[in-house]
Amino acid sequence: MLVHPQFDPIALQVGPLAVHWYGLTYLAAFGLFVLLGRAQARRPRFAAAGWAPAEVEDLLFFGVLGVILGGRLGYVLFYKPLHFLANPLEVFAVWQGGMAFHGGLIGVIFALFVYARRRGRPFWEVADLVAPCVPVGLAAGRLGNFINGELWGRAADPGLPWAMVFPQSGLAIARHPSQLYQFALEGLLLFALLWLYSRGPRRPGQVAGAFLLGYGVFRFIAEAFREPDAHLGLLSLGLSMGQWLCLPMVLLGALILGLAARGRLAPVH
């Protein structure tokens, strides 16, 4: 069995200033988003609509706000509503951790809607530009989870060549390195599929719908190997909270993709 290396969470320290690996993965995610967003803006569909590099940077700002606010509120509402109801001031204690991707996604969708309204651009055009740029950021975040030795996987067959012991879990048992599964599935693979899919001529909303569908499916699969939250465990039908939250994503993504392919997706202004 492999053993998690237990990396030092601090990548670089100069005097009192400490730079954490997790912070670096976020910086990498933001940088990759800008690079990919600019490449998207040069594609015929978006170039014809007059997209400029500066707009991509503004879009990143809106997206970051959506991730932070939505991610925190999602964690509060989806994972620990009773705890935060009893301790409302802890909602603002973001330094203690606690973010939810599905909440962050809702926050980003709202931020894109606000951006589209302010810039006078069709919402689906903005969403289609952003969608292929997101998975690399997710990949960077999962790499940060692995470096930190958090969000480890469920128990695995010790004979599995890549089974790994995470001492941080408090149990010396072989586990699935589920962070790396998510890195590969909802990060690298989803990026490759969406980037190739978005190269061709697509109707408004098709790429955004493909993202929702693809992420929901890949996250649902990865959740089967990820240790569920200790305070929740497995819920109805033996599914984790993450899997239950993926189901509406898959359904909504399939609906948007199907309507967009038929040219029946209602415009959002």
Q: Which amino acid makes up residue 96?
A: Q
Predicted model pTM: 0.89
38 is annotated as contributing to ligand binding: no
List of residues 6+ apart from 13 with CB closer than 8 A: 19
Please give the radius of gyration of the chain, using alpha carbons only, rounded to the nearest integer: 19
- Taking only the tens place, the pLDDT of each residue in 111-133 is 999 999 999 999 999 999 999 99
* Cβ–Cβ under 8 Å, residues 205 and 256: yes
Q: Could you give the maximum distance between any two Cα atoms of the chain, in Å?
A: 59
Q: CA 194, CA 183: separation in Å to the nearest integer?
A: 15
Nearest to 98 by CA among 150, 26, 147: 150
| Angular region, 150: left φ>0, alpha ψ -120 to 50, beta rest | beta
Count of positions (residues) in the chain: 269
Q: Report domain extents, the chain.
A: 2-261
Q: Helix or strand or coil: residue 9? A: coil
**pLDDT tens figures, 213-262:** 999 999 999 999 999 988 788 999 999 989 999 999 999 999 999 999 99
